[in-house]
Amino acid sequence: MQEVQALEFRKITDDITVSPQITADHLQEIADAGYRAVICNRPDGEGADQPTFDEIAAAAKAKGLEVRYQPVTSGKVRDEDAEAFGKLLRELPGPVFAYCRTGTRSATLWSLSQANALAPATILAATKGAGYDMAGVVRRIVNGGKTPTDEGDAKFDVVIVGGGAAGIAVASSLKARKPGLGIAILDPADVHYYQPGWTMVGGGVFEAATTARTMGSLIPQGVHWIKSAVAAFEPQNNAVVLDGCRVVKYDRLIVCPGLKLDWHGVEGLVDTLGKNGVTSNYRYDLAPYTWELVSKMREGRALFTQPPMPIKCAGAPQKAMYLSGDHWFRTGRLKDIDIQFMNAGGLLFGVKDYVPALMDYVRKYDASLNFFHNLIAVDGPGKTATFKVSKPDEEPTEVTVDFDMMHVCPPQVAPDFIRVSPLADAAGWVDVDQATLRHKTYDNIWSLGDVMNAPNAKTAAAARMQAPVVAENVVADTRGLSPHAVYNGYGSCPLTVEKGKIVLAEFGYGGALLPSFPKWVIDGTKPTRAAWLLKEQILPPVYWKAMLRGKEWMAKPESVSAG
């Protein structure tokens, strides 16, 4: 007797699971798993070992399952087929189990049926999670069913994806080096933010409005701004597919769209942000609420959370704690406030040289450090937060903690359209050489900023150093030369430990200290007034007037030795 193949449940969404060919013996397992309907997308007679639809249908009905036959020829999924599939999904009781020879046709039908309801990146991510690569299908969707990417709507020498700190800085650096380059920045945003300033907004030092500028005022002169989001990459065709089915072609591509704040990664968080005492300096509109909560709080418990790495500005979650603690210390309220720092990691700060100075402030504010505590759920009205506690060599547990105020740092991931693209590594980040910042697979693609996978701190200061490196190497490439500028992993994290003092952490790959100033000017391992003045008065103008304009003060790239 022939052995029954194991059934594969390849779940795309809660409503639809697809599978390779099934047999009548599988229907009981499908029914037991909670499915209520089955769709067959494989025509009878495709293979010698294939049961007929009638056999499947009889077994399905015997198990109380609805069943439909929608045969589609392999490689010939038409728009009408997708429409009919979508209609079946709406009419049949769910969840639905669909199958064909490998599951690919069913996944393709679902993808096309959702073209008007879901973003291309969402379709790609859902099907990729089920084990299917729908990049070709999405290309068809975003091109409105027309020609794919062998021809474009526009063509540039250099296309830059992302108009944040990294994108505008690298555009300016390129223009400074080779003014004649045809450059385009792709970004749908109207406003550009100086995100390092939001910690100061949450501490009552800056006004939120001072951290924002219109995007149009910052795009360098002579650089084209295409105000559109990216749907997909086609690196083999040197093309980027935009929302609205447009295709932009490039000779060289620079990818720096930043990362995605995954607010939905914590159950209940989105419902309570900005109210019930739940805030975050990671959002422009919420940083003022942080200061409102801190300034009004008289007693109770304040939680400050930090998710698993990587995150942008790894020091920001504790900066919020220090500035809040400082305010309560100065106003005499600290004795009545219980500060709890809930860190998913096992260290206060990743570079050990800065920890002693930070611990002095942890003690000053009588803050409790709770390591290996990862926020997984929030009940805003009930004022409770639930953490998964995963200590080394121990079984994970969950704890629920009451709070009066909570500052949340959300989980962070690469943007969806990056994670499902050919540019990404297994973790979803753009895969680059950590020295030259050139893509490991595609020679004419570079990346910088928060989205790439070099093991450096994700900070604006890092992007400031990376921009000249990428610009230098792109220009060298246009001249037929090898990349010669190298990035040493520099990142800077000005840790605001109290109003008026900062521990200026500056370091590179492997935690090597890389101070910008002699110790007699600023000793970064100690809290100093000079570092505060740098953060408050000097760095914002350096950002707006130097970094974003291609003036590389203290950011000249190192070169690979010719010898």
What amino acid positions are annotated as catalytic residues? 313, 493
Residue 508: φ, ψ to 5°:
-125, -160
DSSP 8-state class, residue 459: -
CB 72 within 8 A of CB 83: no
Place of tokens 């200026």: 504
Long-range contacts at 29-32 (CB < 8 A, ≥ 24 apart) = 30/63, 30/65, 30/97, 31/63, 31/64, 31/65
- Cα separation of 126 and 388, whole Å? 26
Give dist(CA 428, CA 416) in Å, integer.
Answer: 9
Provide the 10 A C-beta neighbour count for residue 135. 19
Q: Which candidate, 434, 426, 386, 383, places its Cα nearest to that of 405?
A: 383
Amino acid, res. 150: D
DSSP states of 189-211 = -SEEE-GGGHHHHHTTSS-GGGG
Q: How many CB atoms sit inside 10 A of residue 384's CB?
A: 15
CB neighbour class for 434 (10 Å; exposed up to 12, middle 13-18, buried from 19): middle
**Residues comprising the chain, all counted:** 563
State which H helix or E strand residue 296 sits in: helix 287-296
Residue 275's CB is within 10 A of a number of other CB atoms, namely 11
Stated as kind and residue range, the H or E segment containing 291 is helix 287-296
| Torsion angles phi and psi, residue 384, rounded to 5 | -130, 150
CB neighbourhood size of 6 (10 A) = 7
**Residue partners of 194: CB distance under 8 A and separation at least 6:** 210, 211, 212, 213, 460, 540, 543, 544
Token readout for 426 is 């297994």
Are residues 471 and 503 in contact, defined by beta-carbon separation less than 8 angstroms? no
Omega of the bond prior to 527 within 30 degrees of 0, cis?
no
C-alpha to C-alpha distances, 525 to 152, 343, 348, nearest whole angstrom: 52, 22, 14
Rounded to 10°, the helix 460-478/165-177 angle is 40
CA distances from 187 to 159, 160, 250 (A): 11, 9, 16
